[in-house]
Amino acid sequence: MSAVDKPSWTARVREAGVRAMPPERLLPDTQPAYMSSWIYIFGVLTIAALVIIIFSGSVLGLKGPAWWHYTGIGHFFNSIHLWAVELFFFFMVIHLWGKFFMAAWRGGRGRTWMSGAITFLTSIAAAFTGYVSQQNFDSQWIATQAKDGLNSTGIGAFFNVLNFGQMYTYHVLLLPVVVIALVSAHILLVRRTGIVPPLPLGELAIHAPAADPPGAGATESAA
């Protein structure tokens, strides 16, 4: 085979991507009928809150601490950012409860479950670094209390929660990148393995059979 006939690395990557995630599975025409329940909306509500967090956080980062402390519009965006975080965790915890009680790791969905769990833990770290980056007495109190707690575990050797520059970098760059990457992987895994169906009536979660892949069984038009 000549060099001309050999597929380039870009073609190989494209083919591998299409094999792993066919377009009809990435953006399906239909969704399973069992998704007609309010309990299935909390994942997308969490993502909506994350979008608002990123937008309001970007504005706060562009304007800086003096703006968010001393101007009316700065207070407004500060509050938008805070309440979006509150809603983010509110929706994410209900999403977690719903998926826990329907044993959402069934049917080869273990990686989806674990990526969600790691996203939850990473989000706590992202929120914490936000609380200590406020530049007020509240953030000083939280940072000093957290410093004692973290030092007692030994993890305080790796970072200093009293260091505003360090915590701010974690908050506006490092942890958001990790959270967005994890959420993206989580969504792709959900698309790949399909939405977990409810548990069969009269059976324990541990004995529940694996779900059929998406496309099998009853479907309805996507909203």
Q: State the residues that interact with another protein by CB under 8 A.
A: 33, 36-39, 41-42, 86, 90, 93-94, 97-98, 218, 220
Cα–Cα distances (Å) from 95 to 55, 122, 176, 204, in that order, read 22, 16, 20, 20
Write the DSSP assignment of 75-128 as a string of letters. HHHHHHHHHHHHHHHHHHHHHHHHHHHTTTTTTT-HHHHHHHHHHHHHHHHHHH
Residue 40: closest CA among 187, 196, 201, 205: 196
Residue located via tokens 């050999």? 6
Nearer to another protein, 98 or 194 (CB): 98
Nearest-approach distance from CB 104 to another protein, in angstroms: 15
Nearer to another protein, 18 or 33 (CB): 33
Nearest-approach distance from CB 154 to another protein, in angstroms: 26
Parallel/antiparallel/unpaired status of strands 30-32 and 219-221: antiparallel
Nearest-approach distance from CB 148 to another protein, in angstroms: 18
Nearest-approach distance from CB 130 to another protein, in angstroms: 17
Nearest-approach distance from CB 98 to another protein, in angstroms: 7
Enumerate the β-bridge partners of residue 191. none
Residue 168: closest CA among 197, 114, 130: 130
Nearer to another protein, 34 or 168 (CB): 34
Nearer to another protein, 38 or 158 (CB): 38
- 103 burial level (CB within 10 Å; 0-12, 13-18, 19+): middle
Nearer to another protein, 33 or 210 (CB): 33
Nearer to another protein, 48 or 188 (CB): 48
Report the alpha-carbon distance of residue 38 to residue 178 in Å, rounded.
Answer: 29
Nearest-approach distance from CB 100 to another protein, in angstroms: 11
SS (H, E, C) 60-71: HHHHCHHHHHHC
